[in-house]
Amino acid sequence: MKPTGFVFFGAILLVCAVSPPRSPAQDRDSEVTVPWDEFKKLIRLDEDEIVIPMELFQKLVLQTGTRTVPPHSVKEGDVVLTRDQFRSIVEQMKPPGALDTPPPFDYLITRALYDGVMRKSDTRFTVTFDIHVLKKDAYLKVPLLPQHIALEQIKVNGERALVVSEGGYHQIVLARAGEHTVQATFSVVSSLDKGPYKIDLAIVQTPITLLRLEMPLKEIDVEIPQAQQLAVTPRGGSTHVSAVISSGRSISVRWRKKVQAAEKIPPKLYCEVHHLISIEDDALRINADLNCNILHSEMDQVSLVIPGDLNVLSVNGEGVGEWQESDIDGQRMLLIPFTYGKKGTVRITLVAEKSLSEGGAVTTFSGPRILDAVRETGFIGIELKTSAEVKIAESDGVEPLAVQKLPQILYNKSVKPLMYGFKYLKHPYSLALEVRKHEKIAVPVATIHSANAVTLFTEDGKVVHRLIYQIRNSAKQFLQIRLPQDSDVWSVFVNNEPVESSINDENELLVPLIRSQTVNNRLQAFPVEVIFCLGQERFSLLGVRRAVLPPVDLLTSQIIWSVYLPNDYAYLYFNSTLEKEEMIRGINVLAGAQRRYNERAMREVRDLDEVTADALSGEGLEKAYFGKEVKSRFRNVPLQEEQLSSQVEAELEFSGRLEDLAQTLPAAAGGAATGTGVLPIQIEVPTGGQLYRFARSIVNPEDPLTMSVTCIRLGMVNLFKWILFLLLLGVLYILRERLVRQIGRLISSVRALDKQNEKMLKKITYSIITPFVLLGLTLVFWSFSTLLTLLFFVLCWVTIIVQVRSFLEKRKKERVSQKEGPAP
């Protein structure tokens, strides 16, 4: 290769070196291998002129560091250089500087060795630090010792060092990167003659900290709390200490003269026992805390004497080994070993049980006794976890105590309120408990919070029932609904989801229930919806129609029943086991009490407002219900506003429910397509007609829920009205002369009576008792006749006004007569 080629090749490599680094993926993607002969042809290395791209030329000029662009020529976007021009550019190029990565730390103190010699009044230390300076070309200040320490000298690598005191530390100044050894000598106050015998040394935190200390003392015990390894070696008349110190900022050395080992004293055991007795259905469960205090010496185990009828279930505690039972000299012994020698406070928890005596006999409790205890005292708390009745038949060796004075630990362990409390000071003691079991009352695990029933009578004889039960359930599996014979169940939904139901041999519909969710310790109600249909005879001109709601096996808090009846009939009298609303309580001879539901008007309101039924305004409801008020009033059933609103909502949801039936049930099956085990569909039922409501509170499963109504076709009612009107006109026409004479006589009698009884009427009018009598009659006729109530009320006010006016006139006359004086 020619020298020029080497020069150009070196320039190419140099430019590549200063180019920005590329990722490995980019290098793999851009890696190209070109033979040398082809490379020479590519850059025309054998020719007098060298052609390079403009971008490469700019990088070469930039590498020279000059702002003057060397002479060159441009041809077709490339730079053309002569050999001499190219050589001149290459010679001016500077090699790229190395890219240094900054160190993560300026310096590191990796090791510190504190070597001390104790003297009479002080201790002289020589500490050696291993310091690694990572930052180059900079002066660093490294803190080594707290500023309150008096330094004697400090050296770096055997030479005197520069030291400054800043930030509460003596700091050494280092200017060269690399490893340095720093030695510092200082003294710390200490005393060999008087206490306290200790040395407290403040240090800087290092990964490795070692301590060596020579103490001119013998037969001493040395303690260093920060030491992970401690070696104390006596040498002649002194003691040498070496220790490995955990990472921290201080070293504390304590020493004392060795104490001659005294003769061991046998341990003494004091115990206070807290018994919690829980009375359950079949046994007494005893949870006892043994709070022991071991003095003088360590103990390896504790032994207890257990009553023969007490069954130990578990023994727990810190450092407690596997407990064992044995029979020694006719006594049941419980051995509780420790995994290591125990001294001081020891707590052991013992759980045992004792079966209750049969037939309500007295059950005696006597707790375990701790052997070799100098003193054992204790407290007993009794709680009841069952419906049984407990009494203290007899007690011996115990003192009754108010439950409020029992230790707090018994309160914390008890689930139920404590019923009795006792205290004992020594063994033996006993309690005779009389536990009487009574028959438990079965409480319902599920209830119906409220029920909304809607029944539709069609003129051709079909009766469609829609039942919505709001159920709170904790454990019941099925809701049993006793359906009438020949019932056709259309759909069953639980929590707005279709479910597969079944019918047992007693024609009871079994609806599978879910478990209620608990919110704030209260079960939330979920809806169960059942729709079924019955077939009856067609409506006739005059007759009685009946409906029965199927009984369920749950207690129902409150039920509201709405009944839709055809518009073409008048309903004379309603009879029901439920409370009837006020508008249908009596006999409706002329069919004046009506509430009609207009499905078309309700659909228009819904489509217009695009709101749900419960959000409809009063105006919209008045369009759908007309003839009487929308909501009902019941005399004996207390219903809240939201309950009546929910019933109205159920009535509105009932509308239009049969619209999808033709689409769901294929016409090929004659409209009777059914399937076993298939999830039900939600059926739309169109409603319309006259609407009447019934209600009842606290419905037991055996209470009948029935309704019957006497009905007559409206044409018959109208015909009866016309016949009655024509008969009245005929009678009046036939008796016209007699009626005229009778009316004349009546008028004459009234006039005569008025003259004869004028004084009596005036006396009654001006009587003080008359307003009170009229007010009483107003109250009496309040619930029977609005007309008579209004009449008596007006008469009452008339008499009051007349009497007041008469009184004022009388007083006026008296005043005038007093002014005029007596007559002459």
Chain-centroid distance, C-alpha 747:
84
Q: How many residues does the chain have?
A: 824
Question: Are residues 304 and 180 both part of a single domain?
Answer: no
pLDDT for the residue numbered 667: 36
CA distance 347 to 350: 10
* Cβ burial 35-50 (10 Å sphere, 16+ → b, else e): eeeeebeebebeeeeb
What is the DSSP secondary structure assignment for residue 41, as one 8-state letter?
H
pLDDT tens track for 441-457 = 767 788 898 899 999 89
Residue 705: is its pLDDT beyond 90? yes
Give the number of other Cβ atoms within 10 Å of residue 575's Cβ: 12
Which residue type is seen at 160? R
Give kind and range of the element (H or E) at residue 331: strand 331-355
CB proximity list for 334: less than 8 A, separation 6 or greater: 303, 304, 305, 306, 312, 315, 323, 324, 325, 368
pLDDT for the residue numbered 494: 92
**Joined tokens for residue 642:** 């939201």
pLDDT for the residue numbered 590: 53
Beta bridge partners of 818: none
pLDDT for the residue numbered 214: 93
Contact present, 673 and 665 (Cβ < 8 Å): yes
Residue 227: is its pLDDT beyond 60? yes
Angle between the 758-765 and 786-820 helix axes, to the nearest 10 degrees? 90
Residue 662: is its pLDDT beyond 50? no
When the pLDDT of each residue in the chain is averaged and rounded to a whole number, the result is: 79
> What number is the average pLDDT over the span 543-562?
91
* Percent with pLDDT over 70 in the chain: 79
Beta bridge partners of 542: 712
655 to each of 469, 565, 652, how far by Cα in Å?
18, 14, 5
Residue 728 pLDDT class (50, 70, 90 cuts): confident
Residue 181 pLDDT class (50, 70, 90 cuts): very high
> What number is the average pLDDT over the span 271-292?
90
CA distance 494 to 675: 19
Q: Hunting for tokens 């006359």 — which residue is that?
A: 813
Within 13 Å and on the Cβ side, how many CA atoms surround 483?
A: 25
CB proximity list for 361: less than 8 A, separation 6 or greater: none
Q: With CA atoms as reference, report the closest residue to 454 among 359, 362, 549.
A: 549
Kindly state whether residue 752 falls inside one of the protein's structural domains: no
**Joined tokens for residue 738:** 């007699």
**Joined tokens for residue 753:** 């009576």
Question: Are residues 389 and 249 both part of a single domain?
Answer: no
CA distance 364 to 726: 96
Within 13 Å and on the Cβ side, how many CA atoms surround 783?
A: 5
pLDDT tens track for 6-57 = 444 444 444 444 444 444 444 444 444 556 565 555 555 566 777 878 878 7
- Window from 378-387, 764-773, 800-809 with minimum mean pLDDT: 764-773
Reduced to 3 states (helix: H, G, I; strand: E, B; else coil), residue 539 is: coil
pLDDT for the residue numbered 602: 62
pLDDT tens track for 612-655 = 444 455 555 666 676 556 677 787 777 766 777 777 777 776 66
Contact present, 378 and 367 (Cβ < 8 Å): yes
Q: With CA atoms as reference, report the closest residue to 2 among 90, 83, 57.
A: 83
Question: Are residues 450 and 508 both part of a single domain?
Answer: yes
State whether the Cα torsion 241-243-249-251 is positive or negative.
negative
pLDDT for the residue numbered 666: 39
- Which value, in Å, is the radius of gyration of the alpha carbons in the chain? 55
Give kind and range of the element (H or E) at residue 4: helix 3-18
> What number is the average pLDDT over the span 338-348?
89
Question: Are residues 468 and 581 both part of a single domain?
Answer: yes
**Joined tokens for residue 531:** 């729709």
> What number is the average pLDDT over the span 345-358?
88
Residue 550: is its pLDDT beyond 90? yes
Question: Are residues 300 and 251 both part of a single domain?
Answer: no
- Window from 36-50, 193-207, 683-697, 701-715 with minimum mean pLDDT: 36-50
Kindly state whether residue 128 falls inside one of the protein's structural domains: yes
Question: Are residues 526 and 564 both part of a single domain?
Answer: yes
CB proximity list for 411: less than 8 A, separation 6 or greater: 381, 418
Phi-psi domain of 815 (left: phi exceeds 0; alpha: psi -120 through 50; beta: other): alpha
Reduced to 3 states (helix: H, G, I; strand: E, B; else coil), residue 640 is: coil
Give kind and range of the element (H or E) at residue 340: strand 331-355
Question: Are residues 150 and 209 both part of a single domain?
Answer: yes
Instruction: Measure the CA dihedral 201/206/208/213, to 10°.
Output: -10
Residue 502: is its pLDDT beyond 80? yes
Give the number of other Cβ atoms within 10 Å of residue 72's Cβ: 16
> What number is the average pLDDT over the span 77-105?
74
We report the CATH number of the domain holding residue 163 as 2.60.40.1730
β-strand 399-400 against 418-424: which pairing, if any? antiparallel
Residue 664: is its pLDDT beyond 50? no
Beta bridge partners of 563: 455, 692
Q: Which among 92, 120, 148 is the end of a domain?
A: 92
Reduced to 3 states (helix: H, G, I; strand: E, B; else coil), residue 67 is: coil
Contact present, 421 and 402 (Cβ < 8 Å): yes
Residue 492: is its pLDDT beyond 50? yes
pLDDT for the residue numbered 685: 54
Kindly state whether residue 737 falls inside one of the protein's structural domains: no
pLDDT for the residue numbered 665: 42
Give the number of other Cβ atoms within 10 Å of residue 769's Cβ: 8
Question: Are residues 568 and 474 both part of a single domain?
Answer: yes
3-state helix, strand, coil in the chain (%, to 5): 25, 40, 35
Kindly state whether residue 740 falls inside one of the protein's structural domains: no
Q: With CA atoms as reference, report the closest residue to 100 among 175, 177, 181.
A: 177
Question: Are residues 123 and 173 both part of a single domain?
Answer: yes
235 to each of 4, 192, 238, 368, how far by Cα in Å?
81, 18, 5, 56
Question: Are residues 426 and 556 both part of a single domain?
Answer: no
Contact present, 208 and 248 (Cβ < 8 Å): no
Kindly state whether residue 490 falls inside one of the protein's structural domains: yes
Residue 758 pLDDT class (50, 70, 90 cuts): low
pLDDT tens track for 406-440 = 888 888 888 888 889 999 998 889 888 888 777 76
- 151 burial level (CB within 10 Å; 0-12, 13-18, 19+): middle
Q: Which among 436, 467, 488 is the end of a domain?
A: 436
Domain count, the chain: 5
Question: Are residues 285 and 417 both part of a single domain?
Answer: yes
Q: With CA atoms as reference, report the closest residue to 225 among 188, 189, 194, 200.
A: 200
Structural domain that includes position 46: 3-92
β-strand 430-436 against 389-396: which pairing, if any? antiparallel
What is the DSSP secondary structure assignment for residue 320, as one 8-state letter?
B
Kindly state whether residue 152 falls inside one of the protein's structural domains: yes
pLDDT for the residue numbered 53: 82
What is the DSSP secondary structure assignment for residue 403, as one 8-state letter?
G
Kindly state whether residue 637 falls inside one of the protein's structural domains: yes
Question: Are residues 687 and 706 both part of a single domain?
Answer: yes
CA distance 110 to 247: 12
287 to each of 311, 354, 459, 502, how far by Cα in Å?
12, 12, 73, 49
- 85 burial level (CB within 10 Å; 0-12, 13-18, 19+): middle
* Cβ burial 419-458 (10 Å sphere, 16+ → b, else e): ebbbebeebebbbebbbeeeeeeeeeebbbebbbbbbbbb
**Joined tokens for residue 250:** 């201080």
CA distance 590 to 721: 8
Q: Hunting for tokens 């006139």 — which residue is that?
A: 809
pLDDT for the residue numbered 271: 93
Contact present, 255 and 222 (Cβ < 8 Å): yes
pLDDT for the residue numbered 94: 67
37 to each of 1, 42, 50, 79, 818, how far by Cα in Å?
10, 9, 16, 22, 156
pLDDT for the residue numbered 291: 92
We report the CATH number of the domain holding residue 419 as 2.60.40
Kindly state whether residue 759 falls inside one of the protein's structural domains: no
Give kind and range of the element (H or E) at residue 193: none
